[in-house]
Amino acid sequence: MLFKKNTSLGKTKSNLLIFLFFIFPFFLHSEQNLEGNYTNIKILDKISSKNILVKLKNGEAKKYKDLLIKSMKCKNSEFDDNPEITAYIQVSDLTNKNKDDVFVFNGWMFSSSPSITPFDHPVYDIWLISCY
């Protein structure tokens, strides 16, 4: 009777070690790249029918005419076939003298579905364009 050595167990262990040390860090690195430092939004002035692309650094407020806009965080989706961009944005109306209304908009915006959490202002519309 001949005995066979079990070499498949050794191959499985070596394949697992290769995966853990060489391939797995790439997955961790790709997830960290999903969050960006800058947010691009497009602002439409409904009165003049002109739009402008505004680049926001996350965490810093930027004034555009009567609006004070601040992007807190933005993130790209991990799916390439249907990319989704989300950003947490705060918008204040500087013409509003009522100090009880802190923000005109304070929440998450989605690039593919702006109607989920709409920005409601009589003069301006804001759309999320990109995150990088």
Burial of 123 from C-beta contacts in 10 A (0-12 / 13-18 / 19+): middle
Tell me the pLDDT tens digit for each residue of 15-53.
Answer: 544 544 555 445 544 445 588 999 999 999 999 999 999
- Burial 77-113, CB ≥16 within 10 A → b, else e: eeeeeeeebbbbbbbbbeeeeeeeeeebbeeebebee
List the structure tokens of 84: 């989704």
Q: Whole-structure pTM over 0.95, yes or no?
A: no
How many angstroms separate the CA atoms of 9 and 58, rounded?
Answer: 50
Domain residue spans in the chain?
Answer: 36-131
How far apart, in whole angstroms, are the C-alpha atoms of residue 57 and residue 37? 6
pLDDT of 66-119, one tens digit each? 999 999 999 998 776 677 899 999 999 998 887 667 789 999 999 888 888 888
98 secondary structure, DSSP code: -
38-45 and 50-57 as β-strands: parallel, antiparallel, unpaired? antiparallel
